[in-house]
Amino acid sequence: MKRLLTIQDISCFGKCSLTAALPVISAMGVETIVLPTAVLSTHTGSGFSGFTFRDLTDDIEGITAHWKRLGLTFNTIYTGYLGSLEQVSIIRKLIADFRTEDTLVVVDPVMGDGGRMYSGFDSKFVTAMKSLCADADVILPNATEAALLLGQNYRNDLTADEIQSMLMRLTALGCGTAIMTGASTDKAHNGAMAYVARTGEFVTASCENISGSFHSTGDIFSSVLSGGMTLGMDMQTALDLAAEFTHDCIKATLPIREEHWYAVRFEPCLGMLAERCRKYIDV
């Protein structure tokens, strides 16, 4: 059975980060190990205020030291939200300690969205995240994070040629594949574009755009993509599955959107996801 370690925060309410990654990747038939970086009462998106936050940096090295003594190994290491420069440094060491020639490292460089950097981050954090991206096989920035990593201004009207140029420059950071989420050149569709440096290939996946902002979709997309690649899917298959599942989750949320504004409803879609992955699971 394939085993994936995901490193990000726990938002106790709000179905994002680890509380999205754990059920979604597990439904795909991948054993999912978690390393929480912080515990929050809710996610920090719009609609919530006064949330609690407990940093878990001091616990990470003790947890990973125990894993080393147990001889644990991981097919994939997938990182999400990291809250400090110290955490980035610790996770880079973790990757070096646990990586083998067969380990897939996926980095979602969570730093911002909608053209804005998240509060608490600065240029030093961006520099540190570049170093983490250099350690990765695959990175998954959105358009805001891609602009931050490349030191350019954010735009929401990128052409296909501009997206391709950015992806090629992102792989120059040191990663083998760069995927820009939310990469669409027309308002009727949404999806992602990938550039695989080894082959020089661009891969795209898109679905019908549903207007509005939906929390947790980025985490869900990254989780499905990471799980799919762990199972051995090629880039096109994994990218299509991630885009389609995320789209299905948004559609499942629409009938109850008013009371379920804080995240998408992924639970009704997990059965389909499991079925799509069944033929890839080791028996």
pLDDT(221) > 70: yes
Axis-axis angle for helices 18-27, 270-277 (nearest 10) = 50
Each residue of 165-189: pLDDT tens digit? 999 999 999 999 999 998 777 777 8
The span from the CA of 155 to the CA of 142, in Å, is: 11
Nearest to 165 by CA among 135, 193, 140: 193
pLDDT(148) > 60: yes
Q: Is there a contact between 233 and 138 (Cβ–Cβ < 8 Å)?
A: no
Is the entire prediction scored with pTM above 0.85? yes
Report the pLDDT value the prediction gives residue 283, as an integer from 0 to 100: 54
Each residue of 69-112: pLDDT tens digit? 999 999 999 999 998 999 999 999 999 999 999 999 999 999 99
Largest CA distance in the chain: 52
Mean pLDDT, the chain, integer = 93
Instruction: Extract long-range pairs of 188-192: CB within 8 Å, 24+ residues apart.
Output: 190/247, 191/243, 192/221, 192/239, 192/242, 192/243
Q: Is there a contact between 41 and 51 (Cβ–Cβ < 8 Å)?
A: yes
Q: What does 53-75 look like in DSSP terms, one character per residue?
A: EEE-HHHHHHHHHHHHHHT---S
| Region of residue 205 (phi > 0: left; psi between -120 and 50: alpha; otherwise: beta) | beta
pLDDT(233) > 70: yes
Each residue of 111-133: pLDDT tens digit? 998 899 988 889 999 999 999 99
CATH class of 3-280: alpha beta
Token pair 């009727």 in the structure block, residue: 188
Residues 6+ apart with CB under 8 A from 223: 6, 20, 21, 24, 25, 78
DSSP 236: H
- Calculate mean pLDDT across residues 44-59: 86
Instruction: Give the tokens for residue 153.
Output: 């201004």
Token pair 């999205």 in the structure block, residue: 20
Return the amino acid letter for 280. Y
